Amino acid sequence: MGLIIKKKDNKYKLKSSVSDERLHDKKWISEEEVKKVLINRAFWRFIQESVKIDMDFLAHYHVNGSLVPYPKEKGFNKWWLDEGCKYQPLYDKFKDLYKNLNLDLDMKFD
C-alpha cells in the first residue's frame, strides 16, 4: 500500500494512496504520532509476513530449480480473507508460530 504524507505547520496527515483513507483519527498529527503510525504499520507487516512464511513455506521459493506455487485452496491468503483480514486472528497465529518454532525475539506473550 502506498502512502501520501501532507505537512502543514509542522503537523502531518497520512493517507493511503490506494483507498484515500486517513491512517489516523485526528485531522492533523505531530511528527511523533506519525512515527507511531508508521512503526505500527511496519510491526503488522512483520507479523503478517511471519505468519505467511509459516503457512505457505515453500511457496514462491525455487526448490530444485522449480518455483513452488502458492496454494490455491489453502494457505495464508485464503485464511487471511476467511478471517476478514482482522488483526486478532493474525496475532494469535503469530503467537502460536512463535511458540511452535521456539523463536527468540525477546518478545513475551501471555
Q: List, for residues 18-65, the tens digit of each pLDDT value.
A: 988 999 999 999 999 999 999 999 999 999 999 999 999 988 889 999
Q: Is 109 contained in some domain? A: no
Rg of the chain over Cα atoms, rounded to whole angstroms, equals: 18
- Say if 105 falls within a structural domain: no
- 101 backbone dihedrals φ, ψ, rounded to 5°: -90, 0
Note whether residue 106 is domain-resident. no
pLDDT tens string 61-80: 899 999 998 877 788 999 99
In sequence order, what are the beta bridge partners of 59?
Answer: none
- Examine residue 108 and state whether it is found in any structural domain, yes or no: no
Whether residue 12 is contained in a domain is answered as yes
Domain presence at residue 43: yes
Kindly state whether residue 50 falls inside one of the protein's structural domains: yes
Residue 41 contacts by C-beta under 8 Å, 6 or more apart in sequence?
23
Q: Indicate whether 64 belongs to any domain.
A: yes
Q: Which of 95, 76, 94 is nearest to 85 (CA)?
A: 76
What is the amino acid identity at position 60?
Answer: H
What is the domain count for the chain? 1
The range of the structural domain enclosing residue 17 comes to 3-100
